[in-house]
Amino acid sequence: MSEVGVVFGGSRGIGRAVSQLLAARGHRVAVISRNLDAAEAAAARLAGGQHMALCCDVSKPEEVQKAFQHIHTTYGNVRYLVNAAGINRDRLLLRMRLEDMVSVLHTNLLGTMLTCRAAVKSMLHRQGGAIVNIGSVVGQKGNSGQCVYSSTKAGLEGFTRSLAKEVASRNIRVNLVAPGFVRTDMMAGLDEEALVRGVPLGRFGEPDEVAQAVLFLLEAPYVTGQVLPVDGGLRLAM
Ligand code: NDP
C-alpha cells in the first residue's frame, strides 16, 4: 500500500538514499532540504511519479509547521518520518564560535524534535507510524573536535528512547540509526585512507547501506526505542 514518507535532508547523502528506497517501495515521498533546486532534482529522480520537493530549514519552527501543513493538504497523514538533516562544524570546543554551536544544536537536535512533534500529530490521525532519527557513533563514543556535534547525537538517543515511550501506546515507533563513516558530502575532504584504518570492515559505508537499516526500522513492527549502529564495526575499535 502506498504510504506517505517524509525525509528531512532528502536531497543528498543518506537522506537521498532513504528517499530512493521509500519510492522504490511505492510510497509517496516528500524530499526536504534548504535548497529547493537540490530537493527537486532528488525528487525528480525517484521511482514512480508522485513525489514532492519542499524547501524548509529544519531549525525554524514556522518553516517545519508550514512544510507539514503542505504535506497534509497534498498527501494526507504521514506514515514514515526520517530525520537525516544534519550539519557538523567540527572544531575544538575552545575554538568554536557561538553561532556555530547554536546552528549545530538547532539543526541536529531541535530540528528533529520539531519534525517529530509535527509528524506525531499527523500519525495520531492515522493511528500509527514510524520514525527513524539519524545519530552517529560519536553520540556514544565521543570524539575530540566534535563536542557539540556529538552532544546533539547523544541527545538524539535520549530523545528517541523517551519519545518511543511516549507514543508506543498509539502504535507509533521511534528508532535511531547510528552510522560510522559514510561516503557523503559531509565526509568530503577528510583523509579516507587514514580513517578506514580504524574501521574493522576496512572501508567507508555507502549511503544505501545506511538507508537499508533505516528502511528495516521503519518497517519492523515490533521494534521501538532502539539504537542500531551501522558503522562497519567502528564502535568496537573506538
Ligand atoms: P549530507 O551533508 O550529505 O546531507 C545533509 C542533508 O541535510 C542535505 O540534504 C542538506 O540539504 C540537509 N540539511 C542540512 N541542514 C539542514 C537544515 N537546516 N534544514 C533542512 N535540511 C538540512 O550529510 P549526510 O547524508 O552524511 O548526513 C545525514 C545524517 O547522517 C546527518 O544527521 C549526519 O550527522 C549523520 N551522519 C553522517 C555520517 C557520515 O559519515 N556521512 C556519519 C554519522 C552520522 P541542504 O544543505 O540543502 O539543506
Per-residue pLDDT of the chain (238 residues; tens, 9 = 90+): 899 999 999 999 999 999 999 999 999 999 999 999 999 999 999 999 789 999 999 999 999 999 999 999 999 999 999 999 999 999 999 999 999 999 999 999 999 999 999 999 999 998 999 999 999 999 999 999 999 999 999 999 999 999 999 999 999 999 999 999 999 999 998 999 999 999 999 999 999 999 999 999 999 999 999 999 999 999 999 8
Q: What is the pLDDT of residue 137?
A: 98
Q: What is the pLDDT of residue 100?
A: 98
Q: What is the pLDDT of residue 91?
A: 97
Q: Which of 165, 192, 123, 39 is nearest to 29 (CA)?
A: 39
One-letter amino acid of 101: M
Query: Does 136 contact ligand 1 (Cβ within 6 A)?
Result: yes
**Atom 32 in ligand 1: residue holding the nearest Cα:** 86
Contact yes or no for 161/211 (Cβ under 8 A): no
Q: What share of the chain is helix, strand, coil (3-state, %, to 5)?
A: 50, 15, 35
Rounded Cα distance between 17 and 14, Å, is: 5
Which mutation among 176, 182, 210 tests ligand 1's pocket best, with the greatest number of atoms within 8 A of CB?
182
Q: What is the pLDDT of residue 29?
A: 98
Which mutation among 40, 184, 210 tests ligand 1's pocket best, with the greatest number of atoms within 8 A of CB?
184
**Atom 3 in ligand 1: residue holding the nearest Cα:** 13
Which mutation among 134, 192, 203, 206 tests ligand 1's pocket best, with the greatest number of atoms within 8 A of CB?
134
Q: Which of 106, 131, 136 is nearest to 120 (CA)?
A: 131
Q: Which of 157, 172, 154, 178 is nearest to 224 (CA)?
A: 172
- DSSP label of 206: P
Looking at ligand 1, which atom is closest to the CA of residue 181? 40
Cell matching residue 164 = 518511543
DSSP 115-148: HHHHHHHHHHHTT-EEEEEE--THHHH--TT-HH
Q: What is the pLDDT of residue 1?
A: 82
Active site residues: 149
Segment holding 82, helix H or strand E = strand 80-83
Q: What is the pLDDT of residue 145?
A: 97
Query: Does 5 contact ligand 1 (Cβ within 6 A)?
Result: no
- DSSP label of 225: S
Residue 169 Cα to ligand 1 midpoint, Å, equals: 31
Domains by residue range for the chain, with CATH: 4-237 (3.40.50.720)
Rounded Cα distance between 20 and 25, Å, is: 9
Helix (H, G, I), strand (E, B), or coil: what is residue 227?
strand
Cβ neighbours around 2 below 10 Å, total = 12
ipTM, 2 dp? 0.99
Residue 10 Cα to ligand 1 midpoint, Å, equals: 8
Q: What is the pLDDT of residue 108?
A: 98
Residue 170 Cα to ligand 1 midpoint, Å, equals: 29
